[in-house]
A and B are shown apart, each in its own frame.
Chain A
Amino acid sequence: MVQYFVRRLLLSIPVLFGILLVTFVMARVIPGDPCRAILGEKATKAVCDRFIHEKGLDKPIHIQFGIYMGEILHGDFGQSIRYGMPVSRLLVERLPMTVELSIAALMVSMIVGIPLGIISAVRHNTWVDVITMVWANIGVSMPVFWLGLMLAFVFSILLKDTPFWLPPSGRVTPGIPNDPFFEVWGLNLPETGVLPSFFYFLSRLNLLNAALTANWELFKDSLTHLILPAMALGTIPMALIARMARSSMLEVLGQDYIRTARAKGLTQVKVIFKHAFRNSLLPLVTVIGLSLGGLLGGAVLTETIFGLSGVGRTLYDAITARDYGIVQAFTVVIAVFFVILNLVVDLSYAYLDPRIKLD
């Protein structure tokens, strides 16, 4: 297992290097003068020359790449022009929203998708199965942004004045106190450094922060704000998971050892959950892992629609505002995150199916 882990880790190094190279090249080929893009249109030639020299932009391209790599490895993503603060700080501020949303969406999709898939496999070719699969086919075909707008329309307009009303945008209702847990706990944190950043990151996870500070009003409010975006973002993975759970279950259910288990007189529940479901997990893990990448992409759309300032929305704003520092840094972070996820998926694969380690 350790050997497999190490080899798998080493294999992702060239990919990570490639990601840095691609984002670096992309930032270099963006049309326009980097100096005037950062310092503004009115920067004089002398100022620009000094800026270019300071940033090392007059050095040969491979040395520039080296400098860039060094900066990234030190966690220095440069400055954002638009927000006037280090990009890394912005990242710590905005990432929690996206993490919360992605986890919620994934939870929604798993909690609904897996049981649906299992039921339609067990009740193969009945109306339950047909309806589930029709629904799953429609689900994978939905544009996320449209689904989000339609959900907002249904739950905020049509269901207004009913208990099912849900807020159409935002993360919390303004006015609800949201103090970071480390302040409530009276922790004395240093101004800068990794630990305060990490604590700040945690405190921006609203649900976690609300739970840690026992602020149940905030918890409930955050949750109601999270439902619609999570439903919009979770629908496609939900449909994919339901389909995969079904076909994987069907395959397992047709095998001899299941017939043996049934012949032994085991109950249906035991056969399905103890014998069949465990063995059908493997392809499911892949689908779930791959969906996470889609979630990150879909987050751009979902956050745009629901007015949430997460990584996706910030990235989109940065693109329209030509804030290349953010675009570059956020793309790198998301891609690295994605690589790590794939690594985790592969490792859980090896854990679930020990045969994989052998080859």
Chain B
Amino acid sequence: MAVTETGIPKLDVEGLSLKSVSLWQITWRRLFRRKSAVVGMVILGILIFIALTAQWIAPFDPIQQLIGKEEGIKKRAAPCVHAFGCPMDQPEHIAGTDGNFRDFFSRLLFGARLSLMVGISTVSFAIVIGTILGALGGYFGGWPDNIIMRFMDVLLAFPSLLLAIAIVTVLGPGLINALLAIGIVSIPQYARVVRASVLSVRELDFVSATRALGGSSYQILFLRILPNALTPLIVQGTLGIATAILDAAALSFLGLGAQPPTPEWGSMLGAERNQVFTAPHLVFLPGFMIALTVLSFNLLGDGLRDALDPRLAHLS
């Protein structure tokens, strides 16, 4: 059976069988054909694995200060692996220790959990609120649309990190407030995406048909119109997770997000940033992990966009 470039099986002339292929199957196949997307998925898979199993694979408690608990422990010790020639009389810490005698490697592992949670929860929050606002605006039009979209314009008028900082100032520093701030800041982009999709299908025949059949506004909006907004939302959401993780790390770095001793990469980096010249690994590793996580979501998001919208595929 001949397979076209899009991955859809061609009509089998002899048997006349036409296997139906769903959009998701096509997307999945296209996604797997893109090297960068596969790389993104592999990195993300490893990170998810680390996040799920952190409590079993981490050699130490990420919050416990090991002073007095372990012989020869030093503050901000360089990475030490016995197998790679580190003297046996020094305690083994794969990524060294931080300024509070904590095992840095364990903290890095637990950081994966927090970062993924941060990214996914803020974006989910923003998507839910953004979808509701965008759908209401797009579907009903008129003054509700005007009010909602002008408000979104105002939110977009602030550089996102600055607005998040301002919101955290009002709410008070802390991880939950930082998440809320980043969530609020990213609402407009989702509202816009959903509104645009709603506007583009609102007047189409299948919507009119549902209306003629006596479908309620609720049915039309949620069962007929919104599914059309799903693909752009998925792409935007995946890329949005990357931005959310970056912004959350930045807030924590500034001391406005996760508070010590929470093992959050941004706050770990912020706590040790003055040590960059004496113990560079304490600054390098958390930042590297942030970059890796963000990279995986960016690669996956780009891959999804190309897979879901083949018109763009030739450009990348």
Contact = CB atoms under 8 A, between A and B. Distances in A.
A206 B112 CA distance: 42
B214 interface: no
Interface string A336-353: 001100100000000000
For A18, A152, A342, the residue with the greatest tally of chain B CB atoms inside 10 Å of its CB is A18
Contacts of A156: 277
A14 interface: yes
Nearest to B297: A141
Given A141-B295, A338-B158, A247 B315 contact: yes
A149 interface: yes
A137 B298 contact: yes
A301 B166 CA distance: 14
B160 interface: yes
Chain A contact residues: over half helix, strand or loop, or mixed?
helix
B161 A298 contact: yes
Interface in B240-264: 242, 246, 249-250, 253-256
Contacts of A335: 157-159, 162
B283 interface: yes
B276 A149 contact: yes
A153 B280 contact: yes
Contacts of A19: 154, 157-158
B157 A18 contact: yes
B158 A331 contact: yes
Interface string A132-159: 0110011011111111011011001100
B284 interface: yes
Contact of B277 (A157, A305, A319): A157
Contacts of B277: 153, 156-157
Interface in B73-110: none
Given A22-B154, A26-B170, A315-B165, A152 B276 contact: yes
B157 A247 contact: no
A250 interface: yes
A146 B283 contact: yes
Contacts of A315: 162, 165
Interface stretch (A58-66, A186-194, A263-271, A289-297): A289-297
Among the interface residues A247, A296, A319, which one has the most CB atoms of the partner chain B within 10 A? Answer: A319
A143 B291 contact: yes
B294 interface: yes
Contacts of B256: 319
Nearest to A154: B280
Contact of A146 (B36, B155, B287, B314): B287
Between B158, B165, B253, B283, the greatest number of chain A beta carbons within 10 A of the residue's beta carbon is seen for B158
B316 interface: yes
B295 A18 contact: no
A297 B160 contact: yes
Contacts of B165: 300, 315-316, 319
Chain A, interface size category, equals 35 or more
Contacts of B166: 23, 26, 327, 331
B290 interface: yes
A30 B171 CA distance: 7
B262 to A, nearest CB: 17
Contacts of B269: 143, 145-146, 149
Contacts of B151: 18
A338 B250 contact: no
B253 to A, nearest CB: 5
B287 A143 contact: yes
Given A141-B242, A150-B287, A297 B159 contact: yes
A334 interface: yes
Contacts, number: 142
Contact of B150 (A18, A31, A146): A18
Contacts of B172: 31
Interface residues of B, number: 49
B273 interface: yes
Interface in B142-170: 150-151, 153-155, 157-162, 165-167, 169-170
Contacts of A300: 161-162, 165, 254
Interface in B266-311: 266, 269-270, 273, 276-277, 280, 283-284, 286-288, 290-292, 294-295, 298-299, 302
A320 interface: yes
Nearest to A121: B315
A54 to B, nearest CB: 25
Contacts of B159: 293-294, 296-297, 334-335, 338
Given A141-B295, A315-B165, A334 B276 contact: no
B283 A316 contact: no
A2 interface: no
Contacts of B154: 15, 18-19, 21-22
Interface in A238-266: 247, 250-251, 254
Interface in B186-233: none
A294 B273 CA distance: 22
A138 B283 CA distance: 18
B113 to A, nearest CB: 18
Nearest to B249: A143
> Closest 3 A-B residue pairs measured CB to CB?
A146-B287, A297-B161, A18-B154
24 contacts: A19-B157, A26-B166, A29-B170, A31-B172, A137-B36, A141-B292, A141-B298, A143-B249, A143-B250, A143-B253, A143-B290, A145-B250, A145-B253, A149-B273, A149-B276, A153-B283, A157-B277, A250-B314, A294-B159, A334-B158, A334-B159, A335-B158, A338-B157, A338-B158
Interface of B: 36, 150-151, 153-155, 157-162, 165-167, 169-170, 172, 242, 246, 249-250, 253-256, 266, 269-270, 273, 276-277, 280, 283-284, 286-288, 290-292, 294-295, 298-299, 302, 314-316
Given A31-B172, A153-B280, A327-B169, 8 more contacts: A15-B157, A19-B154, A22-B155, A141-B292, A153-B276, A157-B277, A316-B165, A335-B158
